[in-house]
Structure 1
Amino acid sequence: MSCLFCFSGDKLGPEERKGKYGDLWGQYADNDATFKVKLCGAPCAEPACWMGSMICSPCAQYKLRHMALNHLEPGSGWSNYKCCQGMFGGCCCIQPGNMGEDSCPQCCMCLEGCCCPGMAVSASQGMIMQRYSLGLDSDDVRIIRCNNCLQILACVASCLNICIDCEGDDAIVGCINLIADIVFCCVSGCMTARVYHEINEREKEAPKGNRMER
């Protein structure tokens, strides 16, 4: 984790707030309140959830979204579910709210968790951040920047590998992709564990009548 300190912990700049992901995180960047546990501390706070989300991410995202939906609207089940909760907009024929969520929300959530794990956990986290006006701390910003840098590096390396034929290039690109995948898996697990922890802590603080029905 020491490599994270190579990245700035300053608030997201204007350029980093562009695009669908930038729009999502940018709206919370200036909020002062933060999660009860830092992203780096999530594995210690919820070790079972962290490990479980890395072993089977789709199952973890399914459970987390159900928790988030019913934390915000107790007893609502899956009635308020939309693909990624509509936080990233749509693309061509993929339009949140018009993909069969009303008739089969659980099936749609399974597909979301399998096909878009990063967006799935980001959407669940965004729901909690939006409700409680939570912001990003310095660790969040560093990890987001580190993860984005590695994903871009892996993409560029893969493209160059197609265009340039060098001895050992497949092994190098394979290592870069492996590192990027491991970091993504760990960050996704941390986000899942932190949202899980936040919901549980908020539930403990809430009056009995407002607690989520499990």
Structure 2
Amino acid sequence: MPSQEYMDKMQLRQSYRNVWHTDLMSTIQADSPFCCLALWCGPCVSYMLRKRALYNDMSRYVCCAGYLPCSGRCGESRCPEFCLATEVFLCFGNSVASTRFLLQDEFNIQTTQCDNCIIGFMFCLQQVACIFAIVAMIVGSEELSEASQILSCLSDMVYCSVCACMQTQHKIELDKRDGKFGPPPMAVPPFQQMSRIDQPIPPPVGYPQQPAYGQPYGYPPPPPAPAQGYQAAAYSAYPPPGSYPPPAGSYPPPGYYGK
């Protein structure tokens, strides 16, 4: 059962907003020769695309791009070329899917609804063909056996076609990354950025708290300016020192004003 951390990272992939340069329906028109090459030489194309996705640096290689429990435990560091060749020939479907996940996590690419429908149809057709083959083997009916063989051939054709279109889609996206449709990238990203599914979710980034308006960093608020002019006289000591209490004899004697 996958951990909660793994599930959180899978949820993070659903928030991707970029799209493939070419969808699965348009790959044949976008690059017909490469699509035919991927149809007839799928494992070789898968090897080439994975190596290219790793920026031709096989020291970055991990089995199935780190998306399976066996990744990193197959001795990839000692002989990455042999391990990649074994992966693409023995686990061709996983190699194509791993390269797809690798590109999606690197460029924040989402899978469109049309692509999901095509991939889902391919899997459903394979399951139906497998069910028909099991039923035909149990019942022993020749009609069901022939129907299962037809469905198996059809599912294999759809599987090979979809994988070829997916590989062509990956190749076009790599052409876009390498600058064939625009300026080339500035530098190769570091190793830990190749597959974001293996990285911890980064902490939120924010700006430091700004000081009060008009107050520079690291300085206390300035003291008030000294009063000048009549304001200085108004704020001076009142009454003057020594004026209170009045000295004796300074007031007229009682009854003076009645005279």
Instruction: Give the TM interval when normalised to the shorter protein.
Output: 0.7 to 0.9
Q: 1:111 to 1:200 in 2, by over 3 A?
A: same
Letter in 2 for 1:80: R
| Counterparts of 1:175 and 1:120, CA distance in 2 | 27
* 1:136 CA displacement: 1.1
**Long gaps (5+) in structure 1:** 1-21, 71-75
CA–CA distance in structure 2, aligned partners of residues 47 and 207 of structure 1:
24
- Report the counterpart of residue 40 of structure 1 in structure 2: 25
Secondary structure of the corresponding residue to residue 168 of structure 1: helix
43, 49, 55: which is aligned to 1:64? 49
Distance (whole Å) between structure 1 residues aligned to residue 92 and residue 107 of structure 2: 23
Matches within 5 A, 1:144-155: 144-155=119-130
RMSD: 2.3
Partner of 2:16: 31
Partner amino acid, structure 2, of 1:122: A
- Work out whether 1:210 is the aligned partner of 2:190: no
Q: Which has the larger radius of gyration?
A: 2
CA distance in 2 between partners of 1:46 and 1:144 (Å): 20
Choose from 93, 97, 105 the match for 1:122.
97
- Do structure 1's residue 53 and structure 2's residue 38 form an aligned pair? yes
Letter in 1 for 2:171: Y
TM-score calculated relative to the size of structure 1: 0.77
**Quick one: distance in 2 between partners of 1:24 and 1:101?**
24
**Matches of 1:24 and 1:158 in 2, distance apart?**
37
Moved >4 Å (runs of 4+) = 22-27
Amino acid at match of 2:111: L
1:196 aligns with 2:181: no
Partner of 2:78: 103
- Partners of 2:109 and 2:98 lie apart in 1 by 14
Distance 2:138 2:118 in 1: 30
Matched-pair identity in %: 24
- Aligned residue identity for 1:191: M
User: Residues of 2 paired with 1:100 and 1:62: CA distance?
Assistant: 18
CA contact (8 A) 1:113 1:120 kept: yes
Task: Please give the alpha-carbon distance, in whole angstroms, between the structure 1 residues aligned to 2:166 and 2:184.
Answer: 26
Correspondence for 1:11: none
Task: Assess if the C-alpha contact under 8 Å between 1:203 and 1:211 holds in 2.
Answer: no
Q: Is the helix fraction higher in 1 or 2? A: 1
Provide the TM-score with structure 2 as the length reference.
Answer: 0.65
Where 1:210 maps in the other structure, the secondary structure is coil
Secondary structure of the residue that 2:61 maps to in structure 1? coil
Cα deviations by residue, 1:129-154 (Å, 9 ceiling, x for unpaired): 10111101121111011111101111
Give me the whole-angstrom Cα distance separating, in 1, the residues matched to 2:129 and 2:33: 29
Counterparts of 1:208 and 1:24, CA distance in 2 = 26
Tell me how far 1:25 sits from its aligned partner.
7.9
* C-alpha contact (below 8 Å) 2:136/2:142 kept by paired residues: no
Indicate the SS of the match to 2:142: coil
Structure 1 residue matching 2:60: 3-state secondary structure:
coil
2:61 alignment partner AA: Y
* Structure 2, unpaired ranges of 5+: 1-6, 190-259
Alignment size in residue pairs:
181
